[in-house]
Amino acid sequence: SGTVLQLAAFKGDEAMVKLLVAHGALIDQEGGEYGSALQAAASEGHVNTVRMLLELNDESDMEPLDLNRQTGSTKTALQAAAAAGHTEIVRILLEQDLDVDQSDAQHESALHQAAANNHLEAIELLLGKGAEILLPGPNGSALDNAIYQGHEEAAMMLLAGGAKIDVDNDKSAVAMKHALKYNHGGVVNLILSHDAHKDAK
């Protein structure tokens, strides 16, 4: 469900997007799973459509897009792109006026989502724009997300960026136990080498 413009953006149909906007379709109109045309395009990785929507909005008399607004599946366009690993879209959106640490309805930031899905380039871009590496989420920090999912490379990148394993934090303990339980050897070694909780049960 959603608007015709959202469907065109979801499909990456640039010609239709341009035509619909020319006929008065509102770029920031909400509705449906993706919430807005921009979020639909960002979620599906349509780089040129994302660029077009931003440019069309800038060229119009419409209010500037609120890129911090949570829509549709309760994510911003940046969070949707980071979760899916659409690096070029993450880069484009980070050039806009937005809050890199904006949380979604589950209280996770774009960095949390990139870490949980092992999207290394997205992590690098977000950290480069000053994303708060220790920001707490429902399952702990971005590092906790990476450890829980067994993503050694993401965990190493976050540690290099200043993240810390908090052995006294319940959520960190859950992440470490999960890693040990499912034999994520690389992450387990990483935990041990950083004086993590060796007695996780």
Asked whether residue 90 is assigned to any structural domain, the reply reads: no
Instruction: Determine the average pLDDT of the residues in 80-99.
Output: 96
Residue 105 shares a structural domain with residue 161: yes
pLDDT tens for 24-81 read 999 988 877 778 899 999 999 999 999 999 999 888 777 778 888 776 566 889 999 9
Is the domain of 57 the same as that of 111? Answer: no
Range(s) of the domain holding residue 163: 100-200
Task: For residues 106 and 27, state if they share a domain.
Answer: no
Question: Does 86 map to a domain?
Answer: no
Instruction: State whether 114 and 163 are in the same domain.
Output: yes
pLDDT computed for residue 57 by the predictor:
87
Q: Per-residue pLDDT tens for 136-145?
A: 888 889 999 9
First-last CA distance in the chain: 45
pTM (2 d.p.):
0.88
Q: How far is the C-alpha of 121 from the C-alpha of 87, rounded, in Å?
A: 6
C-alpha separations of 148 from 8, 72, 102, 131, 137 in Å:
36, 27, 22, 20, 13
Same domain, 67 and 104: no
**Cα-flanking dihedrals φ and ψ of residue 172, to 5°?**
-65, -40
Average pLDDT, the chain: 87
Domain match, 68 and 108 both: no
Going by C-alpha positions, the residue among 134, 114, 109 that lies closest to residue 124 is 114
Left, alpha or beta for 2 (phi > 0: left; psi -120 to 50: alpha)? left
Closest C-alpha to 76, from 40, 118, 31: 40
When divided into structural domains, the chain yields a total of 2
CATH at residue 158 = 1.25.40.20
